[in-house]
A and B are shown apart, each in its own frame.
Chain A
Amino acid sequence: MMPELGKYAAEVLSAYGASLLLLAALVGVTLLRGRAARRALEETEAEAGRRG
C-alpha cells in the first residue's frame, strides 16, 4: 500500500523513479554488453580453432 507522502510526493517519487531507472539502465546495459562479449569470444575462438 502506498504511503502518505503529503506535499513532497512529487519530490520523493521523482527521486525514486529517476534512481531506479538509472540503476535498471546500468544493470541492463551491463548484462547485454556482457552477453555480446561472451558470444563474440566464443565465435572468434571457434573460428581460430577451424583455422588451426
Chain B
Amino acid sequence: MSLWQYANPVKFLALSERVQPVLWALAAVFVSAGLTWGFFGTPDDARQGSTVKIIYLHVPAALMAINAWFMMLVASLIWLIRRHHVSALAAKAAAPVGLVMTLIALVTGAIWGQPMWGTWWAWDPRLTSFLILFLFYLGYIALWQAVEDPDTAADLTSVLCLVGSVFAVLSRYAVQFWNQGLHQGTSIPVATGNRSVADVFFYPLVLAMVGFGLLFLALVIYRTGTEIRLRRTAALRARMNRGA
C-alpha cells in the first residue's frame, strides 16, 4: 500500500470519512484538557502572575501557524513535482487554518506583551517575521481567489508558498539569528531538551499543543474534502453546460 493512492480524490474522501470522527474527538479532548488544566489547574508565575496562562493559547497557536505553512510547502512541492490535485487542494485548505492560528498568536502575544513589556507591539525580529507570515497567508488566500483557472492558481500559489517559507523559518529562528528584541528564546528547545518551563506549566502545555495539532489535522482533512467536492461540482456543471 502506497501513500500516493490518497492522491486519488475518491480514495482520499473515503479515508477522510473514516478518520475524521476519531480526529475531531481526540482534538476536542486534548484541546479541552490542555486549556482547562492550564486555566484552572496551574498556579501563577512568580514574575508574570496570571498572564502565564496565556501560554496555553499563544505557544500552540504559534507552533501551528509555522507548521501549517510547512505543511503547505510540502503539499505545494508535491503539486509542482507530481501534479497531484489533492495536494494542491490540501495546501489551499490549510491556509485559512494557518491564518487563524497566526492571528491568535499575534493577538495573544500583544495582550501578553502589554503588561509584561509595557507595549502591545515592538518591531522585534520574531514579532515582525510573524506579522509578515500573516500577510503571506492573506496574500496566498487572495491569490487562490484571484486566479480563475485552478491549475494556474495552484502553480502561482505554490511559488508564493516557496517564497513565504523564508518567513516561516524566520518566525521560528529569528531569536537565534539576531539575538535581540523583546521576545524570549524558545522555552522548549526540542534539539537540546533543556526546557525552561517548569513541569507544572509544561504538562498542560503539551496537551494543548497536541490538541492544536490534532485540530489542525481534522480541519485540514475536512476542508480538503470540501475543496474536492467543490472542484467536482464545478467540473460536472461545466460538462453539463457543454452538453446542453
Q: Name A residues whose Cβ lies closer than 8 Å to a Cβ of B.
A: 1, 3-9, 11-12, 14-16, 18-19, 22-23, 25-27, 30-31, 33-34, 37-38, 40-41, 44-45, 47-48, 51
Contacts and interface: CB of A to CB of B under 8 A. Distances in A.
B229 A15 contact: no
B225 to A, nearest CB: 7
**Of residues A44, A45, A48, which shows the largest number of chain B Cβ atoms within 10 Å of its Cβ?**
A44
Given A23-B100, A30-B219, 20 more contacts: A1-B40, A3-B40, A3-B50, A7-B49, A8-B49, A8-B51, A8-B115, A11-B114, A15-B111, A18-B107, A22-B103, A26-B97, A30-B223, A34-B225, A34-B226, A41-B230, A44-B236, A44-B240, A48-B240, A51-B243
B226 A51 contact: no
A26 B115 CA distance: 28
Looking at chain A's contact residues, the main secondary structure is helix
B50 A48 contact: no
B222 A15 contact: no
Interface of B: 35, 39-40, 44, 49-51, 53-54, 57-58, 61, 96-97, 100, 103-104, 107-108, 111-112, 114-115, 215, 219, 222-223, 225-226, 229-230, 232-233, 236-237, 239-240, 243
Given A16-B39, A19-B61, A11 B115 contact: yes
A7 B116 CA distance: 12
B139 to A, nearest CB: 19
B229 A41 contact: yes
Nearest to B113: A11
